[in-house]
Structure 1
Amino acid sequence: MSNFVISCGGTGGHLAPGIAIAEALMEKGHHCRLIISNKDVDSRLVKNYPQLQYARSPGVGFAWSPAKFVKFNIEQVRGLLFTINLMREFKADAVIGFGGFLTVGAVFAAFFTGVPVMLHEANRRAGRAIRMLAGFARRIYLPPGVTIKGLPRKMIHHCGYPIRKEIHRMPQDEARAKLGLDVTGKLLLVMGGSQGATALNKWVSRNFEALAKESISVYCVSGLNKMSVDVIERKSADGQTVRAVFTPFVDDMAAALSAADLVVARAGAGSIAEFARCRLPSILVPFPHSADDHQLANAQFLEQQGGAVVIEEKEMDRLLGEVTDTIFNDWLIKRFRENLERLDRANPVDNIVKDMASIALTTHD
């Protein structure tokens, strides 16, 4: 059996697939150590997985302002030294990085210690870290149809997004009960990814009265440090009480996705993969400042596959009408779910784990 270091901290979109891969590797008898950041989102997510081993690395996100740029470089050096020591103590046989600011240190640490590197890119446009580090990798896992210019074909394995095993569709009534939601009509889920989205939170606050008149309840995952837990009550057109629940974080994502009839969300690759797994139709509002506009590319791909509607943030005045038109259109919702089921037929976890194990064996030769 082999020892794997998994660099996956910084955002839920990096950490969640790292957890999925770690669980699958451990089921096969391998040993894993996950490198995570000191951010609140990492701490909140990993507390649900006490069976996994974590190491918190120094590191901060990249920024161009002089002070933050200096801090970024200092933290990268600290992270590199930290990861070299970790890999030597853990006797790592292979490293996989899921992008983000921690992956740079992990890849260079692997290079200096002679350990093979694998990289996973979830988005339809490869991120800066993955592009920069591609030349150090033995294998790069990319979404189907995505390429990185100049890479030999043998380096690339096309696959989807590794989803944690507890993310699956459950009966809607059961899911609503798990979340403590008393909903008689439709339920709209609003979420901005692991960081939250201020624009989406504000949209709910401004438009909830109109949604309530249509008997549309809202469950809004506002993001850590964005808003506190809150409940707003309004009356529907027939006098029923309708609620909007704001929560900074949801521990049971499968329940949240299964409880809803429709989701309004950002377009991170992880969120989209989980929508497909739970057959949840979406209206995607890509974050307009995402690197290389990768969220727009993610959203447009899902729309082209018939699983979502895309509305850019500059067009959010259309969002209320799109929500009400979609959530009550049973024929359209059914078609969305059928297309999402088609997209979710291939589970990449087993293929990735098998390939990782074969690469790790080369260190024992």
Structure 2
Amino acid sequence: MSDRPILLAAGGTGGHLFPASSLAQELQRRGYAVELATDMRAEKYGGDFPARAIHRIPSATLTSPSPIAVAATFSRLGIGYAGALRMLLRLRPQAVIGFGGYPTLPPIIAARTLRIPTAIHEQNAVMGRANRLLARFVDQIALSFMPTKLLAPEAQARARLTGIPVRDAVLKFRDVPYAAPDPTSRLLLLVFGGSQGARFFSEALPPALERLPDEMRERLTIVQQAREEDLAALREAYARGKIAAHLAPFFRDLPERIATAQLVIARAGASTVAELTAIGRPCLLVPLPHALDNDQLENATRLQEVGGGWCVRQSELSTERLAELLQGLLSSPERLADAAKKAHGMATVDAVKRLADLVDELVKSKE
């Protein structure tokens, strides 16, 4: 193993860190040392990240077009760039691979300054803002969907389809068969929404589930991710509806819970879609309505087009419609089994190998 690592750079959310974690595992199997550059948000998702070291780089996200906000953001990114330069001069990485989010800007641009090979990976069906900025600088661009919206024409020649790499913890459930519900079995419904999406599900699901027929409600067990501040009210709502529920703010064993579910309700982040298709489970996807560039809507639409799930806009999901959808799906094992099969077939199971091959090529090109 070379002492010079591959540096992965990722924003500090699960959507960026999970595919980076998958690549880290594969690179280590190939004999590379791996280190991670991220931001402070990674404490929740990256505590067990498979890296030799984790570096926190000062960063900021552009959230307002006001001159003051723009100036503050670029000032913070400038501080991050200076810190990234010092880090790269010390580490001398063989390559720097970005996974999106503004924290990737300082390490990638610093690597470009030092002529270190670079690549970015785009998880969504729409090119993210940070990756759009970086696409003009990097040597290679890895895509999860073809075509990917908002990828500049001049960057197409450096782009290739790899798919979304998923963690070993997900792939271990790849061959677990889907168990469609029968008329007497428990109905296991899994619900998760990420930090930005969980509140809507906490408010929308209890009244919708109360509208289900008594016989269906008695068979139902719901496993749901909810914000800490919503747990007490949600627990009380399910108790009133006599619905068995297991609630938590975060599930570290989420892949196993996906594998045991008969239906999943979730947002449509790229990593969510990748894990649902890798395991092969039917899903009702409700894209985050305020997601930048409607990337979640694009992700969910691609899955719906192949028949692997159902996409419904949040603005169209009244209590009555949600109840109707759930009753129809949970009483149709054939539809659920067919969606599970089609979702399973959509997965790019060798995505992590393709992405690691790209890293190998970058390293060899420098040599």
Q: What's the TM-score, normalizing by structure 1?
A: 0.88
Preserved contact between residue 124 and residue 294 of structure 1 (Cα < 8 Å): yes
Letter in 1 for 2:359: M
User: Per-residue CA shift, 1:325-360, capped at 9, x if unaligned?
Assistant: 112211101111111121125321011101211212
1:138-149, aligned counterparts within 5 Å? 138-147=139-148, 148-149=151-152
1:284 aligns with 2:285: yes
- Alpha carbons of 1:209 and 1:74: their partners in 2 closer, same or farther (altered >3 Å)? same
Q: Which amino acid aligns with 1:24?
A: E
- Consecutive unaligned residues of structure 1, counting only runs of 5 or more, are 174-182
Q: Tell me how far 1:152 sits from its aligned partner.
A: 5.0
Q: Which amino acid aligns with 2:54?
A: Y
Corresponding residue of 1:137: 138
1:89-168 residue pairs with structure 2 within 5 A? 89-147=90-148, 148-151=151-154, 153-168=156-171
Query: What is the rounded CA distance, in whole Å, between the counterparts of 2:52 and 2:330 in structure 1?
Result: 39
Per-residue CA deviation, residues 82-140 of structure 1 (Å, 9 max, x unaligned), is 21111111111211111111111122111121111101111111111111211101100
217, 227, 232: which is aligned to 2:221?
Answer: 217
1:189 partner SS: strand
Take 2:117 and 2:296, find their aligned partners in 1: how far apart are those partners?
Answer: 30
Secondary structure of the structure 2 residue equivalent to 1:273: helix
Q: Structure 2 CA distance, aligned partners of 1:361 and 1:212?
A: 62
How far apart, CA to CA, are the structure 2 residues paired with 1:128 and 1:91?
27
Q: Distance in 2 between matches of 1:125 and 1:345?
A: 18
**Stretch of structure 1 that moved more, 209-218 or 337-346:** 209-218
**Cα pair distance change 1:78/1:212, threshold 3 Å:** farther
Letter aligned with residue 271 of structure 2 = G
Instruction: Verify the 8 A CA contact 2:97 2:121 in the aligned structure 1.
Output: yes
What is aligned with 1:298?
Answer: 299
Please state if 1:201 is matched with 2:190.
Answer: no
Post-superposition shift, 1:244?
2.4
The question of whether the paired residues in 1 share the 8 Å contact of 2:34 and 2:51 is answered with no
* Contact 2:105–2:130 (8 Å) recurs in 1: yes
CA drift at 1:227: 3.2
Q: Which amino acid aligns with 1:329?
A: S
Which residue of 2 is the match for residue 259 of structure 1? 260
- Partner residue in 1 for 2:331: 328
SS at match of 1:244: strand
Matches within 5 A, 1:347-358: 347-358=350-361
Partner of 2:56: 56
SS at match of 2:135: helix
Instruction: Measure the CA separation in 1 of the matches of 2:137 and 2:246.
Output: 46
Residue number in structure 1 paired with 2:248: 247
User: Is contact 1:172–1:259 with CA below 8 Å preserved after alignment?
Assistant: no
Instruction: Give the Cα–Cα distance (whole angstroms) in 2 for the partners of residues 70 and 222 of structure 1.
Output: 35
Q: Give aligned pairs, total.
A: 349
Note if contact 1:227-1:248 (Cα within 8 Å) is conserved in structure 2.
no
Aligned residue in 1 for 2:77: 76
Aligned to 2:181: none
Is 1:221–1:247's contact at 8 Å kept on the other side of the alignment?
yes
Alpha carbons of structure 1 residues 20 and 249: separation in structure 2 relative to 1, 3 Å: same
- Determine the C-alpha separation between the residues in 2 that align with 1:346 and 1:53: 28
Aligned 8 A contact 1:311 1:319 in 2: no
Q: Retained in 2: the 8 A contact 1:167–1:278?
A: yes
Q: Is the contact made by 1:144 and 1:160 (CA closer than 8 Å) also made in structure 2?
A: yes
| Compared CA separation, residues 362 and 351, structure 1 to 2 (3 A) | same
The answer on whether the counterparts of 1:226 and 1:248 sit within 8 Å (CA) in structure 2 is no
Structure 2 SS opposite 1:99: coil
How far off its partner does 1:6 sit? Answer: 0.6
Corresponding residue for residue 47 of structure 1? 47
Q: Structure 2 CA distance, aligned partners of 1:345 and 1:62?
A: 32
